[in-house]
A = this chain, B = another copy of it.
Amino acid sequence: MAKLYGVGVGPGDKELITVKAIEVLKKADIIAIPESNNEKGSTAYEIVKPYIKENIETLTLTFPMIKDEKEKESIREKNALLIKQKIDEGKSVCFITLGDPMLYSTFIYLLQNLKQYNIEVETIPGITSFSAMASLLNMPLTIQKEKLTIVCSFDEYVKQLVKLSDTIVFMKVSSYREKLYDLIIENNLLNSFILVSNVGKENQIVSLNPEDLKNSDFSYFTTAIIKK
């Protein structure tokens, strides 16, 4: 049936995909693969390969990481139209995405751009990087009355949220790592820091040293946690 599926494939570990995602992928006519111009290949596609039909039609959609918002929006619209075209042809399209489709994902923009066309959409949730990271380290995110905040950028609100929350997750931290370092120093949180890059993948890196925020480069898929 012609339908768009937003499929969360988990954080990168090939086994952290759900049964529901696999069932949907098995039946799909087309796999839509988002790619940035920062990454080589697609981790999401590597994860789903064992579960899809041989010779299935794929549709690679490029979402370049550029600063010009107008150009970005125009590219998103073009990609949304490519999906709509396939749906209009009566095909089911699985748009695969790392982590959870409803949390800072490209799929959300696609939903916004497709809203006007009333296309049927089904979203399959995915394991987030911070859940995978907490499990990897056997480190509770929250117990009892603790509060958890998740951010993806840095501003004054983040500074206040850090003071009020017990655990703070910083996703895609590489773009604001120096600001996070300063915040850690200002709030004396040196011993509360954990960073994992490419969680569950072969090139996974774990660091407990906030100095690494200053001195090291990390991939786009890097999550830091402050656990007070």
Q: A102 is contacted by which of B121, B131, B150 (Cβ under 8 Å)?
A: B131
Among listed A17-25, A58-66, A83-91, A214-222, interface-contacting one: A17-25
A131 adjacent to B126 (CB under 8 Å): yes
A112 to B177, alpha carbons, bound, how many Å? 31
Number of copies: 2
Q: A132 is contacted by which of B15, B125, B164 (Cβ under 8 Å)?
A: B125
A208 to B152, alpha carbons, bound, how many Å? 27
Given A149-B149, A150-B147: A103 and B157 interface contact (C-beta under 8 Å): no
Q: A15 is contacted by which of B6, B19, B103, B158 (Cβ under 8 Å)?
A: B19
Q: A143 is contacted by which of B100, B108, B124 (Cβ under 8 Å)?
A: B108
Q: Nearest-CB distance from A151 to chain B (Å)?
A: 5
Residues of chain B with a CB closer than 8 A to A144's CB: 104, 152-153
B17 adjacent to A102 (CB under 8 Å): no
A142 adjacent to B135 (CB under 8 Å): no
24 pairs from A and B in contact (CB 8 Å cutoff): A14-B19, A15-B19, A16-B18, A16-B125, A17-B19, A100-B131, A100-B141, A101-B135, A102-B140, A102-B141, A103-B131, A103-B148, A123-B138, A125-B128, A127-B127, A144-B152, A145-B152, A145-B155, A147-B161, A148-B149, A148-B150, A148-B151, A149-B149, A157-B164
Q: Which residues of A approach B to under 8 Å, CB–CB?
A: 6, 8, 10, 13-20, 22-23, 100-104, 108-109, 111, 121, 123-128, 131-132, 134-136, 138-153, 155, 157-158, 160-161, 164-165
